[in-house]
Amino acid sequence: MDGKPGVTRLGNTQLVEYGIRQEKSDIRAHVSVATKSVYVYGTSDGVAAINTGMYRKAPAYTGSIVTAEGYLVPPDAISGCKRIPIPSDLMSFNTTDSTSVKGDKAMRVVMQMLKDRLIPIALDVSDITDEMMQLEGTDIIVQATARVQVKCDWRAGQRELGGTGNLFVQVAECNPLNSH
């Protein structure tokens, strides 16, 4: 507040480059409430799709303020993008939730789906040829480490499922309401 009742003091309203090109993720997961789906793809595949120049950049708004820019990319245009239905017991979203709450709920959905092994993660699998390790009972070593960026992309996904036909692949944002 800026001292006057009903007046909210705005933070940063200038868009800065921040999104898929700057993040250090391996995998992106767009949680679509409208299609009850998570769209999962390799971050580098998303960058490759927007770098083709084939997709339109569009603003995203919070109220009347532009708070982000991103490319509107059909899920099928991102190599390896998979749509995974969200189990109904994980759907707890509400249109009245704040942006921060929506983001937190999206992250919790993806975490639970990963725990339940509903979202596939690539595994590094190594055949053990060392005889001593084999004698000790190790034939295969499996490792999985992935940095996942989760986005609540409310209306993302196929039109026939209730989506817009696209994913919003963010490349810039600002934070005028100091949401985290």
Output the pTM of the full model: 0.85
Query: So where are the chain's domains?
Result: 16-172
Q: Provide the strand spans (E) within the chain.
A: 16-17, 27-32, 37-42, 57-62, 65-73, 82-85, 124-127, 140-143, 148-152, 167-173
State the Cα angle at 33 between 22 and 18, rounded to 5°: 15
> Tens digit of pLDDT for each residue in 43-86?
999 999 999 999 999 999 887 888 899 999 999 999 999 999 99
